[in-house]
Structure 1
Amino acid sequence: MTKKKVAIIGSGNIGTDLMFKIMRLSSYLEMGAMVGIDPESDGLARARRLGVPITAEGVEGLIALPGFDEIEVVFDATSAGAHRHNAKALEPYNKLMVDLTPAAIGPYVVPVANLEDHLDAANVNMVTCGGQATIPIVNAVSGVVPVHYAEIVASIASKSAGPGTRANIDEFTETTATAIEQVGRAARGKAIIVLNPAEPPMIMRDTVLMITERLSAEQRESVTVAIRERVAAVAEYVAGYRLKHDVQFSDEDAELDTLVDEDRSAAEYTKISVYLEVEGAAMYLPAYAGNLDIMTSAAMRTAERMITARQEVTA
């Protein structure tokens, strides 16, 4: 298959890391342009040295670049507000957009959970780093038993949170919580992000807490198998993704009713606790920046599958 040209809008940490992944790992994609707004950014400087066409004029500069017509995929690694502007500017040109911001103009996509449902979408949203790490687990469990409530806590090194992440904290929690329900299929979802200033910087850690009906021993075994299989599936495209501890189960009583929708309330529940770690591939950023690594890895996997699906249709 001939590689398809892509552009990345956003020459910060996420966009630059994605550029290196595409250039080193992808059998389906190749860099067609790196787009920023700061002519002195490290991402634009590195792209220039690598022979990638660049512009510091934002999406308008991208549209004006020679070879723009050859670009089939545009990754947006800017901010929620900027993506709304970029998507509107690119709408007439029929590009596939993969949105790494919390803007959520298009459907939420988590590759192992629901990518196959959105292969014909024009703009897909990669939720958040916390969502990409935790929603696969909620989705796996909900395939075994109904999940009444799911809460995730994403803890990342403060050094790995750039200005885009910090400017979108509210969108992060709202987008992740909504995707926990829509993609994870939990009846209720909640998301918390923690920026940890510890030195040396910590590797990304994620905690997933779920409330279900009281589970039998057989159901617990099925849930554990589903979680382990899902972790292995994510690790196929995020090598540093792993379980940090055995899956934990604890029986709870009606005191959890405040977290559960009224029509799901019961006298007895089981709480499932899953502890994850995400170590980065360290292609551009340090290994502790697993939060960025899982976003760029998921985005690349999504674009590759959507491109191959389009090729299958036209073949």
Structure 2
Amino acid sequence: MKKAKIAIIGSGNIGLDLMFKVMKNPNLEMSLMVGRNNSPRLQQAREMGIRTSDQGIQAIIDEPECCDIVFDATTAQVHIMHAPILKKLGKITIDMTPAGVGAWVVPSFNMEENMDKDNINLISCGGQAVIPIIGTISRIVPVLYAEAVNASGSKSVGPGTRENVDEYTHHTADAIVKVGGAKKAKAIIVINPAEPPIKMHNTVFCIVEKLNEEIEAKIVKALNSIVDEIKTYVPGYTITTPPQFDYERNLVTTAVEIEGAGDYLPKYSGNLDIITQAGVRVASAMAERM
């Protein structure tokens, strides 16, 4: 099988972690890393033998044959400008920002029905962590309200994430409704400065239409199954608080923790690792269809 050629725009933490994961994937070939001229990470990519450019998206415009799939690891505002250009060039784009331009995809939950799309949006790190949980519950019983609290270590939250906090919370909540199936939703992000840095921790609260022993058993079984699926591409994904059921309030509560793979970023950076793992999972699946 021919490998899909990959270009990454954005040489920040996510861009470099993506690069390392792409290089490990048997279906993908790292072709071009695009970043800022003075970026030490761009220099690091260059020293590893990866072709680099400091010309932004112009590098792909000038040589569109350099890649089949483009990861955009810039910001939501920048991706909104990039998206129509990459579409015109005929490129498959995997958007790592909360821009929300393309189809919203969580690999374990709705990837297969979106394989024909040319712009894939990975929502957010929190979205990747909690939508499979909320969506799995909503397939069993209607979720009237869902709330997700994402706590991540300060050292693993870079300037791009901090600049996009409003987009993150609104976009993640919107995706919990539109992809996860909840009627209403709220997303909260907590940046924790503790030392040593905490792993990414997500607490999920779902108020459902009704609860009984049969529904509880179905939810427990389905959550175990979806976690096994997530672990195929995010091995550090773990349920730390098994689902708790409050029959009086029709409330389901659970919590998950994500430890990163340690490819480029420290293992505590599970908030970044889950979205880069998801992106590479989608790119690899698309490469198999080329």
- TM-score interval (norm. to shorter): over 0.9
Q: Across the two proteins, how many residue pairs are aligned to each other?
A: 290
Offset, 1:189? 1.2
Structure 2 counterpart of 1:180, from 176, 180, 184: 176
Q: Distance in 2 between matches of 1:70 and 1:52?
A: 13
Q: TM-score, normalised by structure 2?
A: 0.97
Offset, 1:307? 2.6
1:19 aligns with 2:19: yes
Structure 2 counterpart of 1:302, from 252, 257, 282: 282
> Gaps spanning 5+ residues in structure 2: where?
none
Offset, 1:47? 1.3
Aligned to 1:8: 8
Structure 2 counterpart of 1:108, from 83, 104, 110: 104
1:150-203: CA deviations, max 9, x gaps? 110010001111110000000000110010011101111110000000111000
Q: Which amino acid aligns with 1:210?
A: C
Tell me the secondary structure at the aligned position of residue 20 of structure 1. Answer: helix
Q: Distance in 2 between matches of 1:180 and 1:214?
A: 19
Structure 1 counterpart of 2:253, from 250, 273, 287: 273
Q: Distance in 2 between matches of 1:187 and 1:31?
A: 41
Q: Distance in 2 between matches of 1:32 and 1:22?
A: 10
1:251 aligns with 2:239: no
Offset, 1:144? 1.1
Q: Distance in 2 between matches of 1:246 and 1:131?
A: 19
What is the 5 A alignment of 1:158-237? 158-237=154-233
Tell me the secondary structure at the aligned position of residue 186 of structure 1. Answer: coil
Is residue 72–residue 79 contact of structure 2 (8 Å, CA) maintained in 1?
Answer: yes
Offset, 1:40? 2.2
Aligned to 1:57: 55
Is residue 155–residue 194 contact of structure 1 (8 Å, CA) maintained in 2?
Answer: yes
Aligned to 1:150: 146
Offset, 1:32? 0.7
Aligned to 2:30: 31
Aligned to 2:115: 119
1:238-277: CA deviations, max 9, x gaps? 010011022111123xxxxxxxxxxxxxxxx410011100
Tell me the secondary structure at the aligned position of residue 74 of structure 1. Answer: strand
Offset, 1:303? 1.4
Q: Distance in 2 between matches of 1:238 and 1:232?
A: 10
Over the matched positions of the two proteins, sequence identity in percent amounts to 46
Is residue 32–residue 66 contact of structure 2 (8 Å, CA) maintained in 1?
Answer: no
Tell me the secondary structure at the aligned position of residue 2 of structure 1. Answer: coil
Tell me the secondary structure at the aligned position of residue 247 of structure 1. Answer: strand
Structure 2 counterpart of 1:42, from 37, 40, 43: 40
Q: Distance in 2 between matches of 1:78 and 1:112?
A: 24
Is residue 141–residue 210 contact of structure 2 (8 Å, CA) maintained in 1?
Answer: no
Is residue 35–residue 62 contact of structure 1 (8 Å, CA) maintained in 2?
Answer: no
> Gaps spanning 5+ residues in structure 1: where?
253-268
Tell me the secondary structure at the aligned position of residue 245 of structure 1. Answer: strand
Q: Which amino acid aligns with 1:23?
A: M
1:47-70: CA deviations, max 9, x gaps? 1112111111111133235xx414
Is residue 22–residue 30 contact of structure 1 (8 Å, CA) maintained in 2?
Answer: yes
Aligned to 2:135: 139
Q: Which amino acid aligns with 2:174?
A: T
1:292 aligns with 2:290: no
Tell me the secondary structure at the aligned position of residue 129 of structure 2. Answer: helix
Q: TM-score, normalised by structure 1?
A: 0.90
Q: Which amino acid aligns with 2:250?
A: T
Offset, 1:306? 2.2
Tell me the C-alpha RMSD between the 2 structures: 1.1
1:25-51: CA deviations, max 9, x gaps? x11111010001x21213211211121
Q: Which amino acid aligns with 1:41?
A: S
1:76-98: CA deviations, max 9, x gaps? 01100110111122222100000
Offset, 1:141? 0.8
Tell me the secondary structure at the aligned position of residue 305 of structure 1. Answer: helix
